[in-house]
Amino acid sequence: LHLSIRRQRQMCIRDRLLSELDGFESLENVKVIAATNRPELLDKALLRPGRFDRIVEIPLPGIEGREAIFKVHAKKMPLDKNVDFAKLSIITDGYSGAEIKAVTIDVGMNAISEGVTKCKMSHFKEAIYSIDAKRKGVKNNGPDRLYG
């Protein structure tokens, strides 16, 4: 029941947005900027021609970008000397910034649960393995996936 109420609320918001975008009144001074890191989940009605003037696609980060993202998210983490962000950026090919952030969060949680004072390369590898399993285990990439 809870999921259906949430789904209904999301559909109501989507319908309201579509109605505002297609409204009868001109919205000359209104600019709509939308962003998502999951474009495959967007309702096709949102992308119908005439709704948005431009669609800008930002590609996934390259190897240098992934390394920089690791460094940003791990900046305040106590790291073992063997943690190699260059190697991590190689094995996370195809990862988004959000997925790299999820890896670093998992690393911290695993280190805390083990009771160690520094995050090790093995923690990063375990977290990447976990995220990989989640990425490969996704069977439904449609909009209903958002609701359970």
Mean pLDDT per 10-residue interval, the chain, length 148 residues: 76 81 72 77 79 82 97 96 96 93 95 95 95 74 44
pLDDT of the residue at 148? 39
Name the pTM for this structure.
Answer: 0.68
pLDDT of the residue at 146? 42
Please, are residues 94 and 58 in contact by the beta-carbon 8 Å criterion? no
The CA distance from 109 to 14, in Å, is: 35
> What's the count of helices (H) and strands (E) in the chain, helices before strands?
5, 0
pLDDT of the residue at 124? 97
pLDDT of the residue at 27? 67
How many of the other CB atoms lie within 10 Å of CB of 132?
Answer: 16
Please, are residues 70 and 86 in contact by the beta-carbon 8 Å criterion? no
In the block, which residue shows the tokens 């559909």? 11
* Token pair listed for 26: 């001109």
